[in-house]
Amino acid sequence: MSGHVSGANLSQAVQDLLVEWDHTRAYWRDQKAQEFHQKYLEILPDLVTKANSLISEVDALLRKVRQDCE
């Protein structure tokens, strides 16, 4: 699987998670829900952006290694 596909899959998974979280928030509205959101979910978009950047770098490096070995 290419780095591009992996990054896209990761981004889509986080988007799916956030949609489901929105549905969950309709029923779970206490302080613990807020803490969970702040501790785990608010940071996800930034982490995914960083991860996708690193995935792209690794993918480029692997392509170069393959080319150099041919």
Q: Where exactly are the structural domains of the chain?
A: 3-69
Q: Compute the distance between CA of residue 49 and CA of residue 7 in angstroms, rounded to an integer.
A: 9
Look up the pTM and report it.
0.79
Mean pLDDT across the stretch 13-38?
95
Q: Write the pLDDT tens digit of every residue in 32-70.
A: 999 999 999 999 999 999 999 999 999 999 999 999 998
Question: 60 and 4 in contact (C-beta within 8 Å)?
Answer: no
pLDDT band at 25 (very low <50, low <70, confident <90, very high): very high
Q: Which residue did the predictor score with more confidence, 42 or 2? A: 42
